[in-house]
Amino acid sequence: MDKPTPTARQPLAGLEVIELSNMITCSLAAMTMAAQGANVIKVEPPVGGDQMRPLGTQKSGVSGFFHNCNRGKRSLAIDLKSEAGVAAVKKLAARADVLLHNYRPGVMDRIGLGSDVLRAINPKLIYVAVSGFGTQGPMAAMPAFDHVIQGLAGFTDLQAPDDNQFDFIRTFLCDKVTAYTVGQAATAALLARATTCEGQHIDISMLHACIAFMWPDGMMHRTLKDDDRITMSPGSEYFQTINYSDGGVAVAPLRDNHWEALLPMLGYPELVGTPMYGSIPARMSNMREVTKVIKNPKLDIGMEKALAILTAADVPCAPCIKRDDLEASEQIQAIGALETYVTKAMGKLTVPTPPVQFEGAAASQAEPSPLLGQHSRDILTELGWNNESVDDLISTGAVAETPLA
């Protein structure tokens, strides 16, 4: 069968991505590539599958969490410790363009699926190995989850309200930052391959990706090393929320004229033009005192009036809305950021549309996520197994199959 041809709107059409992973990072990276046209095969254990499958709000044994990272893929449920599992991945690698995995360093080598082995089979293969802490150092072999990396990368310090405390960012930020780093690296390697005709091995650690992500603003005070530097608070502390009795307003008052509108609105007209509030360097040098004003308005004028005043003064602002109200937001609806559709296994679903609009055209990924081993038989048949052989593998537990009812 002929492969699809890449188009402006589906730039990865015709490419095959093999994903061997648990949890978010490689799953989300591969789903993003699927949204751009790639054929993604998710290889997961025959018992239980990806650990995300049962986590959180779910229907028919599949969680919304899993669905949000695995739309548009095919699932091969096979035991990688079995002879058939190793053989299947080798056959997949022989025809694949990209392989992603997030096993701990050394695991893929021990089961016979390391980079050297698979790239000897297919020199054009782009092999992306994702780890928590990297391949070197005292923590290289340790298990890693998002919140562990948040701690070591400094996010829990950045997020803390006080100097002697630590707190998590309440989303899997490190997993998702690394996922988009993986996607960017894989597509950059594909671009290089178009010239060199060679694949390559890529190592990416969550720790390194997240340090690089936080550094521009969160570590600007550690970027300049000379003693004559002027130390100021991270830029992220400059932006706050104003909490009123009827709701919150996110506000980003950067310029002096922003503060000339903001301070009277908060009930502090006497502070306009004072040394602490009169310039960006002064405000950033006194960040904690400045933010106290935003956090403690004297006037409770209400969210709508505050938004009107700030908008009239061209101060960047927006209402703080509850997550349950996202679908009703006029602005979110206007950009087509969400879509609702129905699948046979999970019923009615609402998910984000792909945020990249190639050629300015809205995109959709209104596809089902695969049942565990839903495509095992089809994929193994493509690779040369006959139905009787597949039945034998299922009977021994080496393969799982869940046909769509």
- Residue at 198 is within a domain: yes
Phi/psi for 139 (5° steps) reads -105, 5
Rg of the Cα atoms in the chain: 25
Angle at CA of residue 361, ends 71 and 327, nearest 5°: 60
Q: What is the dihedral of CA 299, 303, 304, 309, to 10 degrees?
A: 50
> Which of 302, 327, 352 is the last residue before a domain boundary?
327
Dist. CA 216–CA 350, nearest whole Å: 34
Dist. CA 403–CA 405, nearest whole Å: 6
- Domain of 130 in residue numbering reads as 16-215+339-400
- Label residue 66 by pLDDT band (50, 70, 90): very high
Lowest mean pLDDT among 2-6, 142-146, 271-275, 326-330: 2-6
> Which of 283, 299, 327 is the last residue before a domain boundary?
327
The CATH number of the domain holding residue 50 is 3.40.50.10540
Other beta carbons within 10 angstroms of residue 387's beta carbon come to 10
Q: Are residues 262 and 203 part of one domain?
A: no
Dist. CA 349–CA 343, nearest whole Å: 8
Whether residue 315 has pLDDT greater than 80: yes
Chain segment 236-269, per-residue pLDDT in tens: 666 789 999 999 999 999 899 999 999 999 999 9
Q: Are residues 255 and 158 part of one domain?
A: no
- Residue at 1 is within a domain: no
- State mean pLDDT over 339-363: 92
- Label residue 231 by pLDDT band (50, 70, 90): confident
Chain segment 132-164, per-residue pLDDT in tens: 999 999 999 999 999 999 999 999 988 887 778
* pLDDT value at residue 203: 98
Q: Which residue would you say has higher pLDDT here, 219 or 353?
A: 353
- Residue at 223 is within a domain: no
Q: Are residues 203 and 275 part of one domain?
A: no
- State mean pLDDT over 221-239: 76
Q: How far is CA 253 from the centre of its chain?
A: 28
- Residue at 231 is within a domain: no
Whether residue 396 has pLDDT greater than 90: yes
Q: Are residues 191 and 95 part of one domain?
A: yes
- Residue at 232 is within a domain: no
Q: Are residues 284 and 137 part of one domain?
A: no
Chain segment 266-314, per-residue pLDDT in tens: 999 999 999 999 998 898 888 888 888 988 999 999 999 999 999 999 9
Picking from 152, 181, 151, the residue whose alpha carbon sits closest to that of residue 169 is 151
Whether residue 169 has pLDDT greater than 80: yes
* pLDDT value at residue 174: 95
Query: Any residues with CB less than 8 A from the CB of 276 and at least 6 apart, and which?
Result: 282, 283, 286, 289, 290
- Residue at 304 is within a domain: yes
* pLDDT value at residue 236: 64
Query: Any residues with CB less than 8 A from the CB of 331 and at least 6 apart, and which?
Result: none
Mean pLDDT of the chain: 93
* pLDDT value at residue 221: 79
- State mean pLDDT over 44-51: 96
Structure-block tokens of residue 202: 């890529």
Q: Are residues 254 and 207 part of one domain?
A: no
* pLDDT value at residue 233: 67
Q: Are residues 187 and 152 part of one domain?
A: yes
Give the count of domains, the chain: 2
pTM: 0.93
Instruction: Say which DSSP state 353 is in.
Output: P
* pLDDT value at residue 235: 64
* pLDDT value at residue 312: 97
Picking from 375, 368, 345, the residue whose alpha carbon sits closest to that of residue 59 is 345
- State mean pLDDT over 371-383: 96
% of the chain with per-residue pLDDT over 90: 82
Q: Are residues 275 and 131 part of one domain?
A: no
The CATH number of the domain holding residue 308 is 3.30.1540.10
Query: Any residues with CB less than 8 A from the CB of 349 and at least 6 apart, and which?
Result: 64, 67, 340, 341, 342, 343
Concatenated DSSP letters of 21-64: --SSHHHHHHHHHHHTT-EEEEEE-SSS-STTTTSSSEETTEEH
Structure-block tokens of residue 216: 């521009």
Q: Are residues 289 and 141 part of one domain?
A: no
Dist. CA 194–CA 223, nearest whole Å: 37
Whether residue 234 has pLDDT greater than 70: no
Picking from 142, 78, 75, 81, the residue whose alpha carbon sits closest to that of residue 108 is 81
- Residue at 221 is within a domain: no
| Start-end of H helices in 220-267 | 256-266
Chain segment 96-107, per-residue pLDDT in tens: 999 999 999 999
Whether residue 30 has pLDDT greater than 80: yes
- State mean pLDDT over 384-393: 96
- Residue at 289 is within a domain: yes
Q: Are residues 349 and 321 part of one domain?
A: no
> Which of 277, 293, 327 is the last residue before a domain boundary?
327
Q: Are residues 277 and 347 part of one domain?
A: no
Other beta carbons within 10 angstroms of residue 159's beta carbon come to 17
Q: Are residues 166 and 52 part of one domain?
A: yes
Contact in structure between 372 and 75 (CB atoms under 8 Å): yes
- Label residue 222 by pLDDT band (50, 70, 90): confident
Structure-block tokens of residue 76: 């091969």
